[in-house]
Amino acid sequence: MKFIYKFFLPPLFFLGILILNFLLSFYIVHLKEKDALEINLSGRQRMLSQKMLKELSLFLHSNDESYREELENTIQLFDTSLKALKDGGEASLDLSWKKKVYLLPSEGKTKAQLEIVSQYWLKNQRLIQITIREKQISKDLYHSNIVLLKEMDKAVQLIQGVSEKKLTYLKILQVFVIFIILTGSIGVLIYYNKLILFPLNNLIARMSLLAKNEGDLTQRIPVVSKDEIGKLSQDFNSFSEVLRGKLLKIFYTFREIIVKVSLIIRELYIYSQNFISIERDMDRGKEELNGIEATIRSQDKSIAKNAAFSRNLTEEINRVMSLTEESSKKASLGEEKITQIRNSMDLAISAMDEMLSKNKELTDKVNLIERTIQTIQEISEKTNLLALNASIEAARAGESGRGFSVVASEIGKLAEGSREAVEGINKNLKVILEKIYSNNNSSEEVSQKIIE
């Protein structure tokens, strides 16, 4: 039931009691008015009985028919009023029969007493008729009239008693209504206290407890009704549950961010250590490149010497051939020279093989350095990607991730510098390899020519 309906139930209850009290009071007052008419008419009956004797006496002494008409009218009025009082029906309020009222039938002792009055009235009527015929009032008529008056007085007293009882009932009803109103007022206070004050005090107490417990959202307000206050309690519980869920979600998200940032910091530390190791490897690579450069310069000198030696050897061969052609006589001398030349050629070929072997070792070292540089380049790319992820997580973390954003930016710059250095080294290594391959090809051609 809605709160507004519950709120208006007690006033409607009191209004119903007041309306019922008004209707009952109106009914009792209406009955009392009827009782007043009955008392008035029953009291008039006593006067009518005396009036009949007076009119009868005047008629007998004056023999005036007008008195007889008045007597008959009084007899008829008495008889009609008595029947209306006893059995209910119309009765005239005046002697001229102009004002009439309707009476309810009497009950209980009142009706029994009116039956007795009716019996004495019948007797009194017969005595009046006898008196009119005999033209003389008898003692029996006086005695009967006195008895009729006494019995009518008893009937009037009974009617008054009934009226007083109705008045007593009205008073009892008023007291009962007052008692109901007082009891209802207490009940209404209890009802309103249970309906409004108790839920509101409970709601305020729960909210105060929530404030004292530093926002403990697990506290719930008991829903004791299905009205607006109950709905308010239910909505507050739902709001607390939703807010608690949102805060838990934010807490878990923030905790995940902290864990991820911690992992990123750990990985950044690992990569920083890797960068230190890479820097050391790069220093060693520089030293090896310096050694390779010195070796290449030495090989260039050796190649230059071999080239000069080859030219001299070619000139010598040409001279020997010319000598061979000039004189076969000098064969023995030529054979010795050829032997010397062959020995020199063997020495040259041995020097070429040694140079080729050193070039091969140099090529292997350069390839090893190139693979190392590729590894460094892959680490640099992963570091750059990690720095980008760290920047994204730092931006998502907001103000608390600003320090991580700076670290990620510096790592990104270091990775970019490493990548550029690696690209420069790759270019230099390619030039060196091209020179080594060129020297190898030249040496192999010279060796092939010498062998031929």
User: Which two tokens mark 146?
Assistant: 């006195």
Across the chain, mean pLDDT equals: 73
**Residue 385 banded pLDDT, cuts 50, 70, 90:** confident
DSSP conformation letters of 107-163: -HHHHHHHHHHHHHHHHHHHHHHHHHHHTS--HHHHHHHHHHHHHHHHHHHHHHHHH
Can you give the pTM of this predicted structure?
Answer: 0.39
Which pLDDT score is estimated for 142?
82
Distances 320 to 142, 251, 308, 309, 343 between C-alpha atoms, Å: 210, 97, 18, 16, 14
Residue 107 scores a pLDDT above 80: yes
Which pLDDT score is estimated for 116?
92
Residue 382 scores a pLDDT above 60: yes
Query: Which backbone phi and psi does 197 adopt, to 5 degrees?
Result: -65, -45
DSSP conformation letters of 37-105: HHHHHHHHHHHHHHHHHHHHHHHHHH--HHHHHHHHHHHHHHHHHHHHHHH-EEEESSTTS-SEEEEPP
pLDDT in tens, 398-427: 676 666 566 667 767 766 776 776 677 777
Query: Which backbone phi and psi does 433 adopt, to 5 degrees?
Result: -60, -40
pLDDT in tens, 161-219: 877 887 787 788 778 878 887 887 787 777 667 766 666 677 677 667 666 665 566 66
Crossing angle for the helix pair 198-212 and 228-326, to the nearest 10 degrees: 30
Report which of 325, 324, 358, 355 is spatially closest to residue 341, judged by C-alpha positions: 324
In whole angstroms, give the CA distance from residue 110 to residue 103: 14
User: Which two tokens mark 345?
Assistant: 């050629």
Longest CA–CA span in the chain (Å) reads 230
In whole angstroms, give the CA distance from residue 160 to residue 45: 15
Distances 332 to 146, 322, 323, 324 between C-alpha atoms, Å: 212, 15, 12, 10
Position of tokens 């519980």? 237
Nearest 5°: CA angle at 408, between 405 and 410?
110
What secondary structure letter does DSSP report for 215? S
Counting residues of the chain whose pLDDT is more than 70, the rounded percentage is: 56
pLDDT in tens, 61-89: 888 888 888 888 988 988 898 898 888 88
What is the identity of the amino acid at 147? V
